[in-house]
Amino acid sequence: MEGYTQYSLIILFLPLLSFVIQIFVGKRLPRKGDVIATGLVGITLLLSIAMFAMSFFIQKDPAFPYHPHFEWLTIGDFTIKLGFYLDNMTIVMLLMVAIISSMVHLYSIGYMEGDPRYSRYFGFLGLFTFSMNGIVLSNNFFMTYIFWELVGLSSYLLIGFWFEKKSASDAGKKAFIVNRVGDVGMWIGLMILFATLGTWSYVDVFESIHAGMLHGGLLTAAGILIFMGAVGKSAQFPLHIWLPDAMEGPTPVSALIHAATMVAAGVFLSLRIFPMLSVDAMTFIAIVGGITAFLAALIAITQNDIKKVLAYSTVSQLGYMILAVGTGAYVAGFFHLVTHAMFKASLFLGSGSVIHAMHHAYHKLHDHGRDPQDMRNMGALREKMPVTFWTFLISTLALSGVPLTSGFLSKDAILAGTLSYYHEHQSLLGLILVFFGFGAAFITAFYMFRLVYMTFFGKPADVKVQAHIHESPKTMTIPLMTLATLSTFIMFTLPKLNPFSDKGWFTTLIQAPEKVVEGLEHFNHEIMEGIHHAHSTAMMISVTVATLGILLATMLYFWKKWDAATWASKIPTLYKLSLNKFYIDEIYMNGIVLPFLKLCSIVGFIDMEIYDKYVIDGAARSMQKISDVAGIQLDYNFLDQTVIDGVGRLAKVSGSQIKKIQTGRLQNYLTYVMSAVILFFIIETIIKAV
């Protein structure tokens, strides 16, 4: 057990060390420190593998939790303990973060080459990895909240890494503020928990809830409010708007933070609080996830920026995971989190490879007007970039849920969960969720193959550009190949080899924790049963819809049997809604942000120009008048001589006073005023005493 703690400590703090080194001395190091940063993260990868091996070969216990902790802050009976919560989920997450982070570090050596802030970039990656591991390792809500905000910070710094671009710095700001909307909810939820239960630790919170200390509506409210944090971080509807903008950051960052790890932190938190979620809270979560999965998929259809398509696809897939949490399919949700991290990171890095190549080609041609991310400028890249193409294709198949890939297994598990939810409840909501789930699966397959055809197939958009396209360097292709390999089914089913069943190491190690909410004692068992029954049906439907989606994309964009533009013109409203992201940004901007800023400027105006000018200054003037008329009271004489006089003719009187001082009588004046004050109070006291 001790080994776990030490390994975790090293895994947590090495990336922080990398941050500190890069920020303070990075520029002066050989190769600007990229080797050190990558090496440090590489060590965390080795340690994560070691921890995984320990858990897989030695521990083998799917229900082992271990939580070393220490007292950090004590105020009377109020204590905050910080510590680790080590179970199989933690260990798998640590491994996943380490894999993606080290791949992204390696990839960035090629991708970010020559950037003027190269060492700072690696520093920020280190800061992010540290913060992310903090969330993963935390054994309590307070520590989670701390690291929750810190990943927000690193996300802000990396989205706005090229801050000279206004769109990039705007996107960073938007991401942070939108996330804070969710965090306000989360914080209120945490306050409810703490005020009621008096503890932060996951284990203690669950035990207290099990003992009935928090139940009913308040428990549901706490669950939903904490989930609000996940809505922000995991870009769920209606707070999903920041994630597509976050694509302004360097592409490896999009892969690491905005596809694989940080955005999954919301799902991770929802899984952590899974035991305390009441039925109503879960219904809420399922609805949010379902809407997000479907809505984002609809938007992805019409986007032409390669990264925007992937961004909306990420939103949609995160929606799937949240849907899984809401329908109770705990294992499926976490499974999809991990598989998605691999293939989506691969897709983003692949798109980065394409953008990198396009960018260089344009650079060679001295063309700075065209957008290297616009898929309409691409085409036929598969011949020039074979490694990028094949890894991209494998990952696309995984995302589309095609058999033999990891994505097939996890998506299928989620859809089975949704189907079983419908069987269980037989409600309209259940039917809608099923529709959202399979509908999104269909659309996903469609837009992903649209992307592949537009980018890698067909004729080159510009032959001159095509001539300058080259495959990316090894530092970039090795991560691509690694991640594509990790997107195959076998990586998740070992030691079993059945591509149609998720039975394997993953489902052995990861099992849903018991619910602690009253009346849900048999919840997990029922869900397992339901999923088991729905499994084969779900598989058939999901393979069918994926095939249909791919077929449709092939007809439209490969064989060009039909014309996409004609189709779009037939449904102009729907097309425009999708193209303009359902106008959600515009609704927020015109419905909330601008009116609120207007309100703020009105408040600011009232504060200084009305309240201060008329009420406060007016009160001072009338006091002066009263004192003039009354002319009594020692203190008013004093006030009059030195100050109140000035209020009426401010500039004049005080100006002349100040002139007197400037002519060198400061000391005299000071002595005079000081003694006047002291004298005055003594006299006043005497008067009152008499």
Which parts of 45-104 interact with another protein (CB under 8 A)?
A: 72-78
675 binds another protein (CB under 8 A): no
Binding positions for another protein, 188-217, rule CB under 8 A:
188, 191, 194-195, 198
* Residue selected from 65, 66, 68, 149 as contacting another protein according to rule CB under 8 A: 149
Q: Which of residues 187 and 227 has its CB atom nearest to another protein in the complex? A: 187
Closest alpha carbon to 240 in 189, 301, 297: 297
- Shortest approach of another protein to residue 429 CB, angstroms? 29
Q: Which of residues 463 and 686 has its CB atom nearest to another protein in the complex? A: 686
Within 328-385, where are the H helices?
Answer: 330-364, 381-384
- Shortest approach of another protein to residue 23 CB, angstroms? 8
Number of residues engaging another protein in binding (CB under 8 A): 76
Two structure tokens written together for 119: 């060492």
20 binds another protein (CB under 8 A): no
- What is the spatial distance between Cα 445 and Cα 4, in angstroms, rounded to a whole number? 41
Closest alpha carbon to 472 in 389, 401, 411: 389
Q: Which of residues 180 and 468 has its CB atom nearest to another protein in the complex? A: 180
Please state whether 460 falls in left (phi above 0), alpha (psi between -120 and 50) or beta.
beta
- CA 629 to chain CA mean position, Å: 66
Closest alpha carbon to 524 in 317, 336, 277: 277
Binding mask 106-145 for another protein (x = CB under 8 A): ---------------------------------------x
Question: Phi and psi dihedrals of 561, rounded to 5?
Answer: -70, -35
Question: Phi and psi dihedrals of 78, rounded to 5?
Answer: -90, 120
* Residue selected from 213, 600, 626, 683 as contacting another protein according to rule CB under 8 A: 600
- Shortest approach of another protein to residue 146 CB, angstroms? 4
* Residue selected from 467, 634, 678, 679 as contacting another protein according to rule CB under 8 A: 678
Two structure tokens written together for 490: 């076998």
Q: Which of residues 562 and 611 has its CB atom nearest to another protein in the complex? A: 611
Stretch that binds another protein, among 204-212, 361-369, 534-542, 661-669 (CB under 8 A): 661-669
Q: Which of residues 573 and 601 has its CB atom nearest to another protein in the complex? A: 601
- Shortest approach of another protein to residue 642 CB, angstroms? 8
502 binds another protein (CB under 8 A): no
Two structure tokens written together for 232: 């922000």
Two structure tokens written together for 558: 């490969």
- Shortest approach of another protein to residue 199 CB, angstroms? 12
Binding positions for another protein, 641-660, rule CB under 8 A:
642-644, 646-647, 650-651, 654-655, 658
- Shortest approach of another protein to residue 28 CB, angstroms? 15
681 binds another protein (CB under 8 A): yes
The greatest distance separating any two alpha carbons of the chain, rounded to the nearest whole angstrom, comes to 107
| Cis status, amide bond into 238, omega within 30 of 0 | yes
| Cis status, amide bond into 65, omega within 30 of 0 | no
Stretch that binds another protein, among 266-274, 499-507, 584-592, 664-672 (CB under 8 A): 664-672
Is 332:407 a contact under the CB 8 Å cutoff?
A: no
Two structure tokens written together for 87: 């179970």
- Shortest approach of another protein to residue 628 CB, angstroms? 15
- What is the spatial distance between Cα 453 and Cα 457, in angstroms, rounded to a whole number? 5
Is 51:99 a contact under the CB 8 Å cutoff?
A: no
Q: Which of residues 494 and 600 has its CB atom nearest to another protein in the complex? A: 600
663 binds another protein (CB under 8 A): no
Binding positions for another protein, 160-189, rule CB under 8 A:
160, 163-166, 169-170, 172-173, 176-177, 180-181, 183-184, 187-188
CA atoms within 13 A on the CB side of 176: 17
- Shortest approach of another protein to residue 197 CB, angstroms? 12
- The DSSP output letter for 29 is S
Two structure tokens written together for 40: 């440090």
Q: Which of residues 2 and 164 has its CB atom nearest to another protein in the complex? A: 164
Is 60:51 a contact under the CB 8 Å cutoff?
A: no
CB atoms within 10 A of CB 630: 9
609 binds another protein (CB under 8 A): no
Q: Which of residues 195 and 428 has its CB atom nearest to another protein in the complex? A: 195
- The DSSP H or E segment spanning 654 is helix 650-660
CB atoms within 10 A of CB 460: 17
Three-state DSSP at 249 gives coil
Is 159:168 a contact under the CB 8 Å cutoff?
A: yes
Is 241:584 a contact under the CB 8 Å cutoff?
A: yes
Q: Which of residues 49 and 188 has its CB atom nearest to another protein in the complex? A: 188
Q: Which of residues 628 and 635 has its CB atom nearest to another protein in the complex? A: 635
666 binds another protein (CB under 8 A): yes
Q: Which of residues 25 and 673 has its CB atom nearest to another protein in the complex? A: 673
Three-state DSSP at 117 gives coil
Stretch that binds another protein, among 233-241, 255-263, 451-459, 605-613 (CB under 8 A): 605-613
147 binds another protein (CB under 8 A): yes
Block residue for tokens 């990839």: 107
Stretch that binds another protein, among 34-42, 244-252, 309-317, 681-689 (CB under 8 A): 681-689
Two structure tokens written together for 345: 């990171």
Binding positions for another protein, 408-427, rule CB under 8 A:
none
* Residue selected from 58, 63, 608, 632 as contacting another protein according to rule CB under 8 A: 608
CB atoms within 10 A of CB 1: 9
511 binds another protein (CB under 8 A): no
* Residue selected from 467, 673, 679, 683 as contacting another protein according to rule CB under 8 A: 673
Q: Which of residues 72 and 562 has its CB atom nearest to another protein in the complex? A: 72
- Shortest approach of another protein to residue 374 CB, angstroms? 22
Within 198-305, where are the H helices?
Answer: 202-210, 216-233, 242-245, 251-255, 262-272, 279-302
370 binds another protein (CB under 8 A): no
Closest alpha carbon to 478 in 109, 112, 9, 74: 109
- Shortest approach of another protein to residue 189 CB, angstroms? 10
232 binds another protein (CB under 8 A): no
Binding positions for another protein, 435-474, rule CB under 8 A:
none
- Shortest approach of another protein to residue 86 CB, angstroms? 22
- What is the spatial distance between Cα 406 and Cα 582, in angstroms, rounded to a whole number? 31
Binding positions for another protein, 524-543, rule CB under 8 A:
none
- Shortest approach of another protein to residue 182 CB, angstroms? 10
614 binds another protein (CB under 8 A): no
- What is the spatial distance between Cα 100 and Cα 252, in angstroms, rounded to a whole number? 10
Closest alpha carbon to 520 in 223, 138, 318: 223
Q: Which of residues 180 and 382 has its CB atom nearest to another protein in the complex? A: 180
- What angle, 0 to 180 degrees and rounded to 10, lies between the N-to-C axes of helices 386-400 and 406-425? 20
Q: Which of residues 630 and 689 has its CB atom nearest to another protein in the complex? A: 689
- Report how far apart, in Å, the C-alpha atoms of 78 and of each of 72, 192, 484, 485 are: 11, 15, 48, 49
674 binds another protein (CB under 8 A): yes
Is 319:237 a contact under the CB 8 Å cutoff?
A: yes
Question: Phi and psi dihedrals of 491, rounded to 5?
Answer: -65, -20
- Shortest approach of another protein to residue 675 CB, angstroms? 11
Q: Which of residues 141 and 330 has its CB atom nearest to another protein in the complex? A: 141
Binding positions for another protein, 568-597, rule CB under 8 A:
597
